[in-house]
Chain A
Amino acid sequence: MRAVARSDGSHAIWTEASEGFVSEGGRLWFGMAISNAEGESAAKEGGGGRKRKRREEPSLAKWRTQGEQRTYSTKLVEALRRVRRSPPSGATATTDHARSRAVREAADRALAVAARGRTRWSRAILSGRTLKRRIRPSCFRPKPVGSSAAARAAAERGKPATLEKKARVLGRLVPGCRKLSLPTLLEEVSDYIAALEMQVRAMSAIADALSAASSAPAAEPM
C-alpha cells in the first residue's frame, strides 16, 4: 500500500488497495509512482517501500506506471479532440448521450491500443464493439434477481456449478471472453481490471484538468 495515497487522506475510491486509484487529484499518483519509472518492474517494488505479501505480476504492474498512463492520456486527448469536432454541437439530449457514448468508446479503444494487442479483451474491443453494447443492457436484468437464489441452491449441489455460473457471468462482463476456460478467463480478468483502473485514473485526471482550465479561463500559472 502506498504511503502517499494513505497519508494524504484524500478522497479516494478503493484507495486501500489499488495504490494509485485516486479519483481526485490525479497528481497523487505522480508522487507514488516512483521517481524514474518508465514502465520498469522496479515501479512496483520501489514505490511502496513496503513489501507486500503477494507479489504482483509484472504484466499487471505496467498498468500502474506513470509512463503508461501518460501515453494513454495523450492518446485519449487526441481522440477526444476528434470526438469534439465530428458531431455538430446540437442541444438535444440524444446528442449528449451519443457524445458520452462516443467518449466511452474512444476511451475503451485507446485502452485496448495501450494493451498492445496481447490480451483477448483488447483485441475484442478493437475488432468491434457493437455486439457488446447491445447485449449488455439485457444481461443486467436477470442477473441480480436470479443469481443469489440460484447461487445458494447450487452451493449445496457442489462447487463447480456455482463457480461455472459465476465464471460465465464474469466472461460476459469482459469483452471477448465468453467461451474461455477458467484459467485463461482469470488471467484476462486481472489484466482487464488493472487496465480499467488506469483508465479511470487517466480520465479523472483529464476531467479535472479540463474543468480547472474551463473554470479559470485566464492562463493560470502552472
Chain B
Amino acid sequence: MSSRRPRSWQPSSASRITDEQINDLVSKLQAVLPEARIRRSDRVSAAKVLQETCNYIRSLHREVDDLSERLSELLASTESSSAQAAIIRSLLM
C-alpha cells in the first residue's frame, strides 16, 4: 500500500514546475531507448518517448516469451544432466 498521495496530475499552476521535471525524466528515459540514441534529436516529444517506451517494453516481453519457449523446448529435449553442467561451465567461463 503506497502511502504516497496521488499527485499525478494537478491542474493548477503547480503543473508548470512538474512539467519541467517531467521533461527531465522523459529525456532520461529517452537515453535508455535504443532508437533515441541513433537519432539523437532533442526535439522528440514526451508523448513519442512514452509511446516508444511502451513499444520497446512490449517487444522485450515478446522476446522473453520466445526465449522461454525455446528454453522449455530445449529443457524437454535435453535429458542428461551433463548438458546442464556444460551450460554452467560455459556461463562461468
Q: Which residues of A contact B (CB under 8 A)?
A: 1, 13-14, 16-18, 21, 23, 54, 56-57, 60, 70, 73-74, 77, 80-81, 83-84, 89, 96, 99-104, 107-108, 151, 155, 159-160, 162-164, 166-167, 169-170, 173-174, 179-184, 186-187, 189-190, 192-194, 196-197, 199-200, 203-207, 209-214, 217, 219-220, 222
Total chain B interface residues with beta-carbon distance under 8 A: 60
In the assembled complex, B14 has its CB within 8 A of some CB on chain A: no
Kindly list chain A residues whose C-beta atoms are within 8 Å of the C-beta of B50.
163, 166-167, 169-170
Q: Which residue of B lies closest to A197 (CB)?
A: B60
Min distance, Cβ B91 to any Cβ of chain A, angstroms:
5
| Interface residue from A167, A196, A210, A217 paired with B64 (Cβ < 8 Å) | A196
CA distance A189 to B87 in the complex (A): 31
- Which one, A21, A57, A77, A103, contacts B72 given CB within 8 A? A103
Residues in B lying within 8 Å of A, measured CB to CB: 2, 4, 6-9, 15, 18, 21-22, 25-26, 28-29, 31-38, 46-47, 50-51, 53-54, 56-58, 60-61, 63-65, 67-78, 80, 82-84, 86-93
- Inside 8 A of A192's CB, which chain B residues have their CB? 57
Secondary structure dominating the interface of B: helix
Could you name 22 residue pairs across A and B whose Cβ atoms are closer than 8 Å? Answer: A16-B37, A16-B38, A17-B33, A77-B84, A99-B76, A100-B69, A101-B68, A103-B68, A107-B64, A163-B47, A164-B8, A166-B51, A183-B21, A183-B25, A186-B26, A190-B29, A200-B64, A200-B67, A206-B87, A206-B91, A212-B86, A222-B93
Closest CB-CB distance, B4 to chain A, in whole Å?
A: 7
Would you call A14 and B6 a contact (CB within 8 A)? no
Looking at chain A's contact residues, the main secondary structure is: helix
Indicate if the CB atoms of A186 and B60 lie closer than 8 Å.
Answer: no
Please determine whether B74 and A210 come into contact, CB atoms closer than 8 angstroms: yes
Taking CB atoms, residues of chain B closer than 8 Å to A80 are 71, 75
Min distance, Cβ A133 to any Cβ of chain B, angstroms: 12
Q: Is the Cβ of A77 less than 8 Å from the Cβ of B25?
A: no
Chain A residue with Cβ nearest B56: A193
Chain A hits for B4, CB < 8 A: 181, 184
Contact B31 A54 (CB under 8 A): yes
Given contacts A200-B60, A207-B74, A173 and B91 within 8 Å (CB-CB):
no
Whether A213 lies near B83 (C-beta < 8 A) is yes
Contact of B47 among A101, A108, A155 (CB under 8 A): A155
Complex contacts, B22 vs chain A, CB 8 Å? 163, 182-183
Say whether, besides A159-B47, A197-B60, A186 and B54 are in contact (CB < 8 Å).
no
